[in-house]
Structure 1
């Protein structure tokens, strides 16, 4: 059979699989680390803070969205009110203009004007002055002389508006004149807006003017019925800055010119729009939604107060803030209690873990832990082809020591010996365990026979230097015997054999007089007389 040699493609695929396996293992390791950290007190505290921040962020985002919705809702309502005002004003002024047109057409008819005065007035004003809030109408000649009036009581005292006559040459045959607010002739305590048209003959010759007036009560009644909230305002301006109407009512400002005010300047920036501003009249910050009426020199603005716009939102925000504070307090208290309990349990688990893996008297690893460590280190030594050494330590004549000095003194001696053994180990990978009774085991990874012998002698000397009195011992002191075994021995083929050969070396040290270090394979012995 001929074996097919591997191709470069096969090698590349194998390397790729190996990289994927390593990546998967690294990813699993990262997940384990993350999971372990998350269940720690610091992890719980961090997760709690993240959750609190997430809750606060979501709530804040919802509040900001709600705030925007409140603004847009007020904007829509104000636009609807502006549209209602626009249509009502246009319809009313169109109605009044129709009356003015009718009178103007009659006044331009020479046959109508040739009729007797009473019949002429009935013909001229039959369709006029019928609209609500419409004041008396007058017909004046080009020089201002009164020709006719719809109110006989005003004959002789009603004159055409001087400013209309002065501007007559600027008016077109179809032009409607809207003047500034003036005191009404019928009721001087009230204001009215003059309305007028020029009278032209069919051949285009200017004959005079027809004048009427629109009572300011119309605007007052129109705006009083609107619901714009507390401290809201409705304003009607002429395009030259003259204030026609304002809600809340302020009669002293009617007719004033506000052309230089910041609010009016912003109202003139477009045909319609909105902005937030604070007028000098009352200092209330408002949302101004305005529109310039087409074909009329008027601007209508609806301005709810910002405090009203955000009133419900502020109430919601206050409740949200209170709930967040309560949630924060409860969560902080719960997290603190949970972390405290977790730490207590972790300390208890650590204590149990230590008790499960360590000898309670000496603090060294116990027999079960030693078995696990030995099995693990044996596999590691075989895999890496590194030496592994074992020290088997036994306290000499310890039974007689207990009989003479008592078990309490014996426990103290065991602790002292264990402390010296642990102190002699200078590498993190070295392990010391209590094997049972007065016996101890030391596992030395990556240590050959010579290194193990040096460590054994170091431990023997350290225990000897404790100078623990033992009158029944030849040297009158407590000593130890140590057996050393390594994987360099041919017959050591598994962990149990390594332990067995170390035990055999210990017995050899005992046989040769104790206070000795006996080494396998030659069972070389170093004893202190």
Structure 2
């Protein structure tokens, strides 16, 4: 059998692990790099999202502050107008004089369209606009009815529209209840043109691709930057689900698709304190993804280079270990191989026969050992020279290898012209037949006058199930040796069994 094959069968698993350990380690390192990249990807996507939220919140805080201050100034006008008109000295003045006082107040605030004071029934009592009022009865308006009920304390804001010189004009109406001596005396209203209010958003830098939307609690958009119609998309309704999400808390963020432009956006919102308004900043998701992809591209490239370097290193180390293992295997092969014949040497024979003997004893199985000796080898060597002798030994080794072909069989050269065969799980009769094939092969060479010099063989066989059974490896080998001596003494060119067994020696 091949000694290398047997070693591989006995130590193959550990050698495989040892050879491929660098590759396994490098693959593990690559897996760790990829896992780190994945965690890095998640971390930086969250970081990019948090950064977008922080930028949107910063914009919202600035705009909300501006809106709060603007509406606070509108409410201050109402308070001032109510205080002025309730003054006893001014209350006695003619209505047109009172109207002029209101007009002077409006001049100080460029975005205010007008101030109107309504009677308890909703008709116009005073107006900052001289001449005939655009509308003389506001009794059916939301901003009037809410103040009449008395349930509201403070200002009320509503969306309002009316016909102007250039068509329908949208306004924001802010009203306050007028009370004197505990009695309802009417409602003061300030009207702000929406287009003037929208102008406040013009100079706000919201970043490329972002949107800024001011939404009323009713679900209507007051203004949007940028707008689709160029007029702030006033009156466009927010979907009920989005409105409910905005009204659920005073501030927050969420991902959704914009109904106005169909883009996936990160929406960050905040309520304007004390007013029924919500400010929403929408950042395109692809803008967030672009920054994230840029970071991941850099990290991914570095990871790919690292994995490539690790792979190259792992396979180079594996190649070096393969070379080392092959060199060690070659040395191991040489240490247990007879250099001349290629069969196992005496050291290997001793290892295998001891191992197989223990196994045969443990399993109560067969183990046969054959000892072979070349007949008249010294005479052949002296007559034809050492080269012919070496060729004869190689011829014997070839005959042994061609007959003992099982993986478990072992042919060995014990020294000089003496050979041995270890035959596990082989009865004495089967061992005899195998040995006879070897003997007849050499006999044919020896008696061939046209062939190279050769010699016949004598052989002795001993088995573990001989009677009496050998008690040790040494006893087994000695029994085979004694059988060999009997073959020599009986005339050579024959095979003898250690135990008495009738076998045809044809």
TM-score, normalised to structure 1's length?
Answer: 0.73
Cα distance in 2 for residues equivalent to 1:278 and 1:522: 98
Residue of 490, 493, 497 corresponding to 1:519: 497
Deviations 1:359-378 (A, max 9, x none): 23322211111122233334
Contact 1:432 1:443 in 2 (8 A): yes
1:417 aligns with 396
Contact 1:139 1:160 in 2 (8 A): no
Contact 1:181 1:244 in 2 (8 A): no
1:371 aligns with 350
1:266 aligns with 242
Residue of 329, 334, 340 corresponding to 1:350: 329
2:232 aligns with 254
Displacement of 1:353 in angstroms is 2.2
Cα distance in 2 for residues equivalent to 1:342 and 1:177: 83
Asked if 1:156 corresponds to 2:143, the answer is: no
Structure 2: gaps of 5 or more residues? 1-10
Residue of 291, 308, 322 corresponding to 1:329: 308
Deviates more, 1:490-499 or 1:416-425: 490-499
Structural mapping, 1:276-315, within 5 Å: 276-279=255-258, 282=261, 284-293=263-272, 296-315=275-294
2:415 aligns with 436
SS in 2 for 1:246: strand
Cα distance in 2 for residues equivalent to 1:349 and 1:396: 37
1:21 aligns with none
Deviations 1:296-326 (A, max 9, x none): 3322112223234344422221112212321
Change (3 A) 1:313 1:234: same
2:461 aligns with 484
1:457 aligns with 436
Cα distance in 2 for residues equivalent to 1:489 and 1:215: 120
SS in 1 for 2:343: coil
Cα distance in 1 for residues equivalent to 2:188 and 2:256: 41
Contact 1:513 1:527 in 2 (8 A): no
Deviations 1:416-458 (A, max 9, x none): 3212212323654332101123221112345565554444333
Cα distance in 2 for residues equivalent to 1:493 and 1:282: 96
2:215 aligns with 237
Contact 2:460 2:487 in 1 (8 A): yes
Contact 1:181 1:255 in 2 (8 A): no
Residue of 359, 365, 373 corresponding to 1:394: 373
Cα distance in 2 for residues equivalent to 1:117 and 1:491: 142
Cα distance in 2 for residues equivalent to 1:344 and 1:304: 59
Contact 2:223 2:234 in 1 (8 A): no
2:481 aligns with 503
Q: More relative contact order in 1 or in 2 (CA 8 Å, sep 6+)?
A: 2
TM-score, normalised to structure 2's length?
Answer: 0.76
1:6 aligns with none
Cα distance in 2 for residues equivalent to 1:518 and 1:140: 138
Cα distance in 2 for residues equivalent to 1:255 and 1:512: 122
Deviates more, 1:514-523 or 1:230-239: 514-523
1:38 aligns with 17
Change (3 A) 1:210 1:54: closer
Residue of 87, 108, 114 corresponding to 2:92: 114
Contact 1:201 1:207 in 2 (8 A): no
Contact 1:135 1:213 in 2 (8 A): yes
Displacement of 1:351 in angstroms is 2.4
Change (3 A) 1:301 1:405: same
Structural mapping, 1:20-169, within 5 Å: 35-41=14-20, 45=23, 48-75=26-53, 78-79=56-57, 81-82=59-60, 85-86=63-64, 88-107=66-85, 112-115=90-93, 135=112, 137-140=114-117, 147=126, 149=128, 155-156=130-131, 159=133, 164=138, 166-167=140-141
Deviations 1:305-358 (A, max 9, x none): 323434442222111221232123223333333333333333333222222222
Structure 1: gaps of 5 or more residues? 1-31
Cα distance in 2 for residues equivalent to 1:201 and 1:243: 36
1:340 aligns with 319
Contact 2:456 2:493 in 1 (8 A): yes
Displacement of 1:394 in angstroms is 1.5
Cα distance in 1 for residues equivalent to 2:291 and 2:163: 42
User: Aligned Cα RMSD in Å?
Assistant: 4.5
Change (3 A) 1:503 1:210: closer
Contact 1:236 1:246 in 2 (8 A): yes
SS in 1 for 2:40: helix
Change (3 A) 1:96 1:367: same
